[in-house]
Amino acid sequence: MNLYNVNTILTHEAKIQGRGILFKILAGLVIGGITYIVMIYHGNFPSASWQRIAISSYIPWVSTTLLNLLQNLFVIFTISGFYKRSTAENLEVHPAGNSEWLLGKTLGVIKVLFILDLASIGITSTVHVLLTDSPFNIGIYLFYFITLTVPATLFYSGLTLFLSFLTRHKGLPY
C-alpha cells in the first residue's frame, strides 16, 4: 500500500467534504446548535439550576453527546455513498488501488470530522468558561473526545462501510 496515494486521496476527500453542502449543514448545526443549547440550558441567563452546573463534566458530556449524534448521521450519509454503482463506474480511473482509494476517502471524512470536533470543543469550552458558573476542566473535554467521539466515529465509519460493502446498496446503512 502506497501511503503517498492514501495521503493524496485523503487530502482531496477532505477538501471535497469540507466544501459540500452536507458538511456545511452539519457544521452549522454543531457550531450554532450545540453552542445555543449550552448557552440556554447551562448559562447564567435564566439562572441555571444547581444540578446543571454542579458537576464539571456535565456540559462537556452534553455537547459531546449531541456532537456524536449529528456526526454519526453525517458519517452514515457520506460513507455509504462510496460503494454506489453507476453506469459510468468503469470510466472512473484513479492511480491507486481500491484499498488505498477506500482508506484515503474514509480517512478524509474522518479528518474533516475531527477538525470539526476540535472546533466544537473550543467553542463549547469558551462558552463554558465565559457564560456559566460550572467548574471548568479541559481534561474532561479531551477525555470525552478520546473515549466517546473517536470510538463512535470509527465504529460508525466501519459499520457503514461494512454494510455498504455487503449489500452494494447505498440506502441500506441508513
Range of the domain at 22: 3-167
Confidence of residue 87 (pLDDT cuts 50, 70, 90): very low
Task: For residue 173, tell me if it sits in a domain.
Answer: no
Task: For residue 115, tell me if it sits in a domain.
Answer: yes
DSSP secondary-structure letter at 33?
A: I
Task: For residue 104, tell me if it sits in a domain.
Answer: yes
Length of the chain: 174
Distances (CA, A) of 92 to 51, 98, 101, 169, 174: 56, 12, 12, 19, 25
pLDDT of residue 93: 64
Task: For residue 81, tell me if it sits in a domain.
Answer: yes
Q: Mean pLDDT across the chain, nearest whole number? A: 80
Enter the C-alpha cell of residue 57.
Answer: 463534566
CB of 13 within 8 A of CB of 105?
yes
pLDDT of residue 22: 82
Task: For residue 32, tell me if it sits in a domain.
Answer: yes
pTM: 0.79
Task: For residue 106, tell me if it sits in a domain.
Answer: yes
Quote the number of domains for the chain.
Answer: 1
Distances (CA, A) of 72 to 41, 51, 69, 77, 109: 23, 28, 5, 9, 11
